[in-house]
C-alpha cells in the first residue's frame, strides 16, 4: 500500500511540490475499474469523493478491533473506542485550524446548517443560557445569504425567517460568477443579524472573498456562517484565521466516509448557542421535569455518534495533510485551467462563472447549446466519463444564468491530465451526436 507521504515530489521547474498521481491513484481501488468497457474517468468529486485504502482500513480496523459505544461504558472496548473517537475529533479539528472543543460531529453539512438554524430559532424562543439572547431574531431583523448557495445554505434560513419574522436577503451574482460586493455592502446593514455564504461555489468553482464578507458582517455585529464543503478538500483551511463564527464541511467530499462531517464554531459562539437535538449523551442531569446540558461540543451531539465514520474521516485528513493541500490545490488548479482551455474552444459550450483572475478549485459547470444536460451526461457516461448533471442543488443560481440544468466536471487530487483530455474530447462530440450543430 502506498504511503501518502510518498505522493509528492520536488519539481525542478517549480518551487511547489507536484503530485505523483500515478502512485497516489494506487490507493483508490475504484479508479481501476471500467465503465461501458472503457477506463473510468471520475470527474464527480464535487458530489462525493472516492476513498483511499487508508480510510477504508481505518474504519475496518475500528469495527473489527475496538467497536463499542463511546462515552458510556467502563469496559476496555468502550475506553478504546472513546479514545479513538476523541483522537479523531482532535485530528479533524486541527486540519481546519481549530481546537478539539470547537468541533461538533455532524452527519454532514446539511445537518450542520439546519442545527444552526434551529438552534438560533430556539434562542429566539428564549431557550438556552442568558448568552443565547445574542442569537435571538425579531420580526424585521435581516439575514443575508447569496444567490449562489447550495440549497442546504438557503432553505434552512428561509425556514428560520418564516418562523421568526426575520427577512432573508441575497447578495447578487455578477454575469462572470463573482459576488457583487458593492451590493453586499448595501445589503449588510444595521438590521443584519446573520450572514451565511459559501467559501467555494459548488457550481462555479470560484473561491469567494471571505475576508471582505466577514468584514462587512463584523462591521454590524452579524454572525457569520460559512459552507466549506467545496474548499476543505482542496485548499489549506484555517477557519479561526478566516474569522468566521461558524463553518460546516462534509466528510464524504474530502476522501472520508458518508454520514460524518464537522461543525466548527468559535468557542464563545458554541457556548452561547442553545441545543437543537436532545436526548442521551448531551446532558449532565435529568429529572422528569427538566434537564441540564453539557458544554459544547457534546451539547450538540445527542444520541449514538458516528464513531467509525469519524475515525475514517480522521484518516482522510491525515492523508490530505500528508499529500499536502498546497500541492493538491496547485494540481487541481492546473487541471481546471486545462479543462477551460479545451472547453472554451468547443462551439456551443458555455462555461458558468468564467471570471478572469479569480482563485478557483478544479471545477467547471457548463451548458451545451441544444442538448439537455442529462442527455449530454449519458453520452459522457457511455464513454466511461462520470460528471454531474442537473441544477446541483443550486436551482436559483441556474435560473440566474437562464438555464434549468448544467453539466459539472469536478476534479480531485487523483485525476490526471489524460483524463481531462479524454473528457474534453468527449464533450467535443456531444452536439454532433445529438444533431444540435448549426
Query: Which segment of 11-20, 136-145, 396-405 scores lowest on mean pLDDT?
Result: 11-20
**For residue 345, cis peptide bond before it (omega within 30 degrees of 0):** no
Residues 75-115 pLDDT 10s: 999 999 999 999 999 999 999 999 999 999 999 999 999 99
Q: Is the pLDDT of residue 18 over 90?
A: no
Tell me which residue of 384, 283, 398, 308 sits closest to 43, measured CA to CA.
384
Answer whether 103's CB lies under 8 Å from 254's CB.
no
Distance CA(165)–CA(147), nearest Å, equals 21
Residues marked active site are found at 393
Contact between 136 and 124 under an 8 Å Cβ cutoff? The reply is: yes
Q: What is the pLDDT of residues 175-218, one digit of tens each?
A: 999 999 999 999 999 999 999 999 999 999 999 999 999 999 99
pTM for the whole structure: 0.95
* Domains defined along the chain, listed by start: 4-51+324-433 (3.90.1150.10), 59-321 (3.40.640.10)
In contact, 252 and 412? CB cutoff 8 Å: no
Amino acid at each position: 500500500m502506498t504511503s501518502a507521504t510518498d505522493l509528492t515530489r520536488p519539481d525542478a521547474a517549480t518551487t511547489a511540490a507536484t503530485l505523483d498521481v500515478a502512485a497516489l491513484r494506487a490507493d483508490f481501488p475504484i479508479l481501476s475499474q471500467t465503465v461501458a468497457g472503457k477506463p473510468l474517468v471520475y470527474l464527480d468529486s464535487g458530489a462525493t469523493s472516492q476513498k483511499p485504502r487508508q480510510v477504508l482500513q481505518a474504519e475496518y480496523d475500528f469495527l473489527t478491533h475496538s467497536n463499542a459505544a463511546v462515552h458510556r461504558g467502563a469496559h476496555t472496548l468502550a475506553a478504546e473506542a472513546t479514545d479513538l473517537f476523541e483522537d479523531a475529533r482532535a485530528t479533524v479539528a486541527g486540519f481546519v485550524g481549530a481546537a478539539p472543543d470547537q468541533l461538533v460531529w455532524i452527519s454532514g453539512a446539511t445537518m450542520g446548517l439546519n442545527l444552526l438554524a434551529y438552534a438560533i430559532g430556539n434562542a429566539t424562543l428564549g431557550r438556552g443560557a442568558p448568552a443565547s439572547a445574542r442569537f435571538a431574531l425579531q420580526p424585521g431583523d435581516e439575514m443575508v445569504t447569496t444567490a449562489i448557495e447550495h440549497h442546504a445554505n438557503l432553505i434552512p434560513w428561509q425556514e428560520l425567517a418564516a418562523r421568526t419574522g426575520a427577512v432573508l436577503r441575497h447578495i447578487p451574482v455578477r454575469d462572470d460568477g463573482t459576488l457583487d460586493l458593492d451590493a453586499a455592502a448595501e445589503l449588510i446593514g444595521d438590521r443584519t443579524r446573520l450572514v451565511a455564504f459559501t467559501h467555494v461555489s459548488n457550481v462555479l468553482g470560484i473561491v469567494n472573498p471571505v475576508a471582505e464578507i466577514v468584514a462587512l458582517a463584523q462591521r454590524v455585529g452579524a454572525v457569520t456562517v460559512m459552507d466549506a464543503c467545496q474548499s476543505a478538500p482542496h485548499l489549506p483551511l484555517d477557519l479561526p484565521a478566516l474569522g468566521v463564527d461558524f463553518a460546516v464541511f462534509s466528510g464524504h467530499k474530502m476522501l472520508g466516509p458518508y454520514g460524518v462531517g464537522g461543525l466548527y464554531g468559535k468557542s464563545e459562539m458554541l457556548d452561547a448557542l442553545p441545543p437543537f437535538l436532545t436526548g442521551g449523551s448531551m446532558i449532565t442531569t435529568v429529572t422528569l421535569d427538566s434537564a441540564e446540558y453539557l458544554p459544547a461540543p457534546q451539547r450538540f451531539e445527542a444520541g449514538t455518534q458516528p464513531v467509525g465514520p469519524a475515525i475514517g474521516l480522521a484518516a482522510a485528513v491525515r492523508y490530505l495533510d500528508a499529500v499536502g493541500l498546497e500541492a493538491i490545490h496547485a494540481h487541481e488548479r492546473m487541471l481546471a485551467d486545462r479543462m477551460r482551455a479545451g472547453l472554451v474552444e468547443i462551439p456551443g459550450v458555455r462555461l458558468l462563472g468564467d471570471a478572469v483572475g479569480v482563485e478557483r478549485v478544479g471545477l467547471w459547470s457548463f451548458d451545451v447549446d441544444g442538448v439537455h444536460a442529462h442527455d449530454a451526461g449519458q453520452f459522457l457516461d457511455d464513454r466511461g466519463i462520470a460528471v454531474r448533471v442537473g441544477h446541483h442543488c443550486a436551482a436559483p443560481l441556474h435560473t440566474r444564468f437562464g438555464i434549468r440544468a448544467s453539466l459539472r466536471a469536478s476534479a480531485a487530487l487523483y485525476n490526471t491530465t489524460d483524463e481531462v483530455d479524454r473528457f474534453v474530447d468527449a464533450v467535443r462530440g456531444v452536439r454532433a451526436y445529438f444533431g444540435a450543430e448549426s
